[in-house]
Amino acid sequence: MSDVNRFLEGSFAPVTEEVTAYGLPVTGRIPAGLSGRYLRNGPNPLGLDDPNYHWFVGSGMVHGVRLRDGTAEWYRNRWVRSKAVAAAHDQPWPGGPVHENQDFAANTHVIGHAGRTLAVVEAGALPYELSYELDTIGPWFAPGPCRAGSPRTPSSTAPPANCTPSRTSGPGGPRPARRRRRGGQGNPHHRHPGRRWSDDA
């Protein structure tokens, strides 16, 4: 049996460097009308020296392929530059707001919202905004009165009107989940603490 942490070897093994590649070979055919970026985010630790490492807490790395006119124009992978990740690369942190001293290289989702590309995490840390080429711009705090929270299931579509409330657990026991929507410019809409969605939400 290997002495290496199972989350650091095999199919779980982290990518060790950032790469930019152009003119990717294609097996088969990419529809000519398919245009845009295919992006994914996931935990990718900076090193292999932590025997207690768990893959949920690895620094986020976003991978992307740019598709256009039946070709794969480029591939890029970039670590999300939190303070810790920037320091590990001997680079300045881009700066920005930090929620309750929680700064983390978001590793759960990557979404498009209000004209931005956001790396987000299912925890209290703020999303990180990325450039089109996946370089880190900095932490992003949405305008409006909504507080930072835990994006359990970020979605670009409104939930149905009959969506039932969910519950989360914490130090005080189970409690209703607060659901929020934001408009196309990032501005907050109605907030529904532990209630069903309404049609005008």
Q: State pLDDT tens for residues 60-80.
A: 999 999 999 999 999 999 999
Residue 32 is encoded by which pair of tokens?
A: 């000519």
Residue 141 is encoded by which pair of tokens?
A: 């705090």
Most confident range (mean pLDDT) of 1-10, 72-81, 170-179, 189-198 is 72-81
How much is the pTM?
A: 0.75
The pLDDT-based confidence of 108 (bands split at 50, 70, 90) is very high
Q: Identify the burial level of 29 via C-beta atoms within 10 angstroms of its C-beta, where 0-12 means exposed, 13-18 middle and 19 or more buried.
A: exposed
For tokens 């932490």, name the residue: 139
CA distance 1 to 5: 11
The whole-number average pLDDT for the span 29-51 is 89
Residue 65 is encoded by which pair of tokens?
A: 């392929």
